[in-house]
Structure 1
């Protein structure tokens, strides 16, 4: 049933690693892949060539994400990758176009992807090989990122383009707004109007 050739024997440990990883929690899974202890890797995440993945502290990888690190993948600290997001660092385009899409083809092209610190990559995003995403950038869900993203910008669409630029004053005002609203909600929740469990904003209807 099992093939005994070089390719099969090379792939089998990767398959077993993926299988074992599904039985771990998100912190254990991050440690299993050799990532910082503060990182969290959710269920059904697939990492291709994890030895080529560099990740900073306090990163979060959502369910079903596929990270192709075969061409080199760098993710900065405090960055989140949304569920079912795809990151590519290689392409077989030329191999397909020339009918040379066989195992070991010399027309597979690899280019590294770099994602900065403090980034938020939404769910169902596709990031193409060779892209650099600057620090503190936001990529909206369902976007296709085919070219570099400047720091402190919000991009969206297919292909993704810049819709907004952030500065420190804007981020500071948003921090103040969210903390004030969460404090208001926690106050109402503590008074018996909602559920104070969990972190961040309590769940429930807090409209006035």
Structure 2
């Protein structure tokens, strides 16, 4: 049933690592993968070539995300990667076009991806090889990022393009708005001790 060739021997530890990780909580999984202690990595997330991944403190990786670090992947501190998001740092396009898509093909191309600090990458996003996403950028869900994203911008679409730019003043005004609203909701809530916004209808 199990092959005993070089490729199988190389892939088997990664397969077993993914199986074992499904039985761990976020913090245990981060420790298991050797990520910073403050990392929260959800179930079914997959890291390819983990040795090429550099990730900052307080990052969140959503369920089913695939982080391909084979070409080099850097994720800055306080960045979230949405569920089922795909980050590619390699492409087999040329090996497909030339009918040379065999294991070990020398036509695989690798380019690093860099995602800055304080970024919010929505769910179901695809980030292509070679892309740099600037600090404090937001990528809306279902976007395909095929070129660099400037800092402090919101991008969306396929291909993703800039829809909004925001400065520190705008962010601070949003911080004040959300904190005030959450304080109001907690004051009306049956459980005022919780963090963030209490659930329920507080429109009255």
- With structure 2 as the length reference, what TM-score do the two structures score? 0.98
Q: Deviations over 1:13-48 (max 9, x none)?
A: 110111111111011111111110001000100110
Once the two structures are overlaid, the 10-residue window that deviates more, 132-141 or 21-30, is 21-30
Q: Deviations over 1:147-200 (max 9, x none)?
A: 0000000000000000000100000000000000000001111xx4xx446420
| Aligned equivalents of 1:199, 1:124: Cα separation in 2 | 27
| Residues 186 and 193 in structure 2, CA contact (< 8 A), matched pair in contact too | no
- Aligned structure 1 segments of 4 or more residues deviating by more than 6 angstroms: none
Tell me the residue number matched to 2:21.
21
Q: Return 5+ residue gaps in structure 1 as ranges.
A: none
CA contact (8 A) 2:137 2:149 kept: yes
Give the number of equivalent residue pairs.
204
Paired with 1:186 and 1:41, the residues of 2 have a C-alpha distance of 28
Q: Which residue of 2 aligns with 1:165?
A: 165
**1:89 aligned partner:** 89
The 5 Å alignment of 1:55-204 reads 55-189=55-189, 192=190, 195-196=191-192, 198-204=194-200
Match of 1:33 in 2: 33
2:70 aligned counterpart, secondary structure: coil
SS of residue paired to 1:95: helix
| 1:136 partner SS | coil
The DSSP-based 3-state class of the residue aligned with 2:124 is coil
Secondary structure of 1:155's match?
Answer: strand
Provide, for residues 94-138 of structure 1, a one-character-per-residue CA deviation record: whole Å limited to 9, x for no partner: 000000000000000000000000000000000000000000000
Q: What SS is found at the alignment partner of 2:14? A: helix
Summarize deviations over 1:60-98 as a string: whole Å, max 9, x none: 000000000000000000000000000000000000000
The question of whether the paired residues in 2 share the 8 Å contact of 1:60 and 1:79 is answered with yes
- How far, CA to CA, are the matches of 2:194 and 2:147 in structure 1? 38
